[in-house]
Amino acid sequence: MKQIQFKFMLLAFIALTITGVQCTKLDSKVYSQIVNENFWQTPEQISAGKAPAYSILQSFGGNSGVFWENEIGSDEMITPTRGGDWGDGGFWANIWYHSEDKNSGMTDWAWGNLYDGIGKCNYIIYTLQHLDPAPATLKSDVAEMRALRSYYYYIAMDLFGNIPYVTNFKQDPATVATTPRAQVYDSLVTDLQAVIPDLSEEVNAKTYGKFNKYVAHFILAKLYLNAEIYSGTPRWQECINECNAVSAGGYSLMSNYYDNFRDQVQEASTENILVAPLKANVLPAGGGNYINVSSIQFNNARLTFNQNGMGNNGMSTTRPFYQFYDTTSDYSTRVVDGNTNVYRTFHDQRTGQFLIGQQYVKGITYPPHRDILYSSSNKAPAGLASSDPTAIEIHDDQSQLPLAYYDDMVLFSDPAPSFRMAGLRNIKYWPEPGGNVGDNISNDAVLFRYADILLMKAECEVRLAQDLGDALDNVNEVRRRAYSGSHDFDFVSGELTLDNIYAERARELAWEMVRRQDMIRFGHFMESRIFPEKPADAGDKHTYILPIPVRVIQNNPNIQQNPGYN
């Protein structure tokens, strides 16, 4: 089946990544670069020369160890074993159970992603600094690459804690050693503060997908937001200051939540601050956006969304996370071609990103929270092949059971045919209909959004017990957009609690690589999340950071393993 083929390809890619990345050799060659007198001379050549440093961001659209570690390591995503599908020797289960060790292929993949990006940044910075004559844009070009490198290091520090921190392309690999997390944190703050004056203030098509001043301020806001985890000292006011600096860029919420994630309109978003531009089956990091393709089932992709590529029937969301969402809805009944159809519209736009219940041929239109085909009097006759285009009710292509997703998952692995429908599927990145997209779509991966700025600032103000009126306004601005402009669902002052902000972040930022970090910061990471066999971590916090891959330490004994993983 196609979903199995996808996983074999995935594991093969991981193996190649592990084999090919010498994780302590941070001056790895970038063969796409041409260093001679005929290159790096024009603005176009310099832009092309910087491009490889951005290529790793493309994999953050659901095709990297970085993405999966952040998502499956939290409570918002699970990749259960469905019969013979998605077992892969415990590959996905170990992330969910926080039981990865130093031999984990996924941690190797994530490490390789990040240090590939870091190595390219160091190479390009070195090249730029040694151009003769120096280009007029040298300071801004170097600042851009330093900010991008800081982003990769920020994620590496967040996931792995104590890491090698190297900024000199020519540093002898034998001298590379582990740098304590708090020291990496301090270095990143210093480096970002140093480059901000030289970064562009433009917010337009020219800077779309690039690091400008506001992206750097956003990274600083994230560093300060989690400073107590990283360094032992909270920096709530500093986070507020950086949020204000980002707001000075003129960003605003889109009226339609889903327009931030839809291929056809993303570049017009006033809310997206940093994206990774993607194009299905084109870009070198493996193609386009895999996030919802990895989630929805094959017939769902083909019959509901007219997608010719595969649906991999994998990544899902379960009841404990879905319970954060407001599922209250309005229902309407219409007679269509003699069939009595009931349509559902969620009050909260964001709830529509998760598919639940019976799926129908063309049962969902854009935006996906509105006019969802909820039930129909036209049922597919028993035994009718699910590929029959006359069937309104879609069946699973393997079990021939009705394709009805459910949120009550009580086992991680289950061979029962009905388990193929376990877990809610995500279509936040709207799958544009038509086209032979293979196993990916062209929606750009959203990395930073203005909604997160509003929620970060509100959280810090609540933690400091200051400017609570501003905090309430910021949270309600996010909620009001979610409820299509209605004030009826605004929080009142007594509801402005850290627990409610934590829940609001779950609703607003699902599957955007922030949940694992949020769970740690709010003190929920060690909780048992669904299954009886998944115990709480019993006070052992070593899984707050991932193990350093064994290959890294074998290549360089100066790099020390994180506590709890020896």
The pTM of this model reads 0.92
Q: Which residues does residue 297 pair with via DSSP β-bridges, in sequence order?
A: 312
Distance CA 392, CA 146 (A): 53
For 15-45, give one letter per residue: b (16+ CB within 10 A) or e: eebbeebbbbbbbbebeebeeeeeebeeeee
Which one-letter DSSP state was computed for residue 61? Answer: T
Q: Residue 219, SS3?
A: helix
Q: For residue 144, give Cα distances in angstroms to 38, 183, 207, 504.
A: 23, 22, 11, 32
pLDDT at 15: 35
d(CA 19, CA 13): 10
Q: Are the C-beta atoms of 547 and 100 separated by less than 8 Å? A: yes
Q: Does the domain formed by 1-186 have CATH 1.25.40.390?
A: yes
As a whole number, mean pLDDT of residues 179-203 equals 98
Cβ atoms of residues 345 and 374 within 8 Å: no
Assess contact for 269 and 259: CB atoms under 8 A. Answer: yes
- Mean pLDDT on 479-499: 97
pLDDT per residue as tens digits for the range 506-544 = 999 999 999 999 999 999 998 755 665 555 555 678 999
pLDDT, tens digit (0-9, with 9 covering 90-100), for 61-71? 888 999 999 99
**Token output for 299:** 């017939």
What is the residue type of 562?
A: N
Read off the pLDDT band of 378 (50, 70, 90).
confident
In tens, the pLDDT along 236-278 reads 999 999 999 999 999 999 999 999 999 989 999 999 999 999 9
Enter the tokens of residue 549. Answer: 């891959």
Q: What CA dihedral angle connects 486, 487, 488 and 490, to 10 degrees?
A: 120
Instruction: Answer whether residue 17 shows pLDDT above 60.
Output: no
DSSP letter string, 137-164: THHHHHHHHHHHHHHHHHHHHHHHSSEE
- The DSSP code sequence of 25-43 is -TT---TT---STTSS-SH
Give the confidence band of 319 by pLDDT, cuts at 50, 70, 90. Answer: very high
Q: Which of the four pLDDT bands, split at 50, 70 and 90, describes residue 12?
A: very low
Q: Where in the chain is the domain with CATH 1.25.40.390?
A: 1-186
DSSP E strands in 377-429: the ranges are 404-405, 413-414, 425-426
Pairwise CA distance, residues 452 & 136, whole Å: 35
What are the two backbone dihedrals, phi and then psi, of residue 483, each rounded to the nearest 5 degrees? -100, 30
d(CA 187, CA 184) in angstroms, rounded, equals 5
Rounded distance between C-alpha atoms, residue 215 and residue 206, angstroms: 14
Lowest mean pLDDT among 120-124, 189-193, 433-437, 492-496: 433-437
In this predicted structure, what is the pLDDT of residue 464?
Answer: 98
Residues 284, 213: Cα–Cα separation, whole Å: 27
Q: Give, as one character, the DSSP assignment of residue 545.
A: S
> Would you say residue 307 has pLDDT above 50?
yes
> Average of pLDDT values for 404-425?
95
Per the listing, tokens 């090249």 go with 127
Higher pLDDT, 387 or 358: 358
Q: Where does the pLDDT of residue 390 fall: very low under 50, low under 70, confident under 90, or very high at 90 and above? A: low
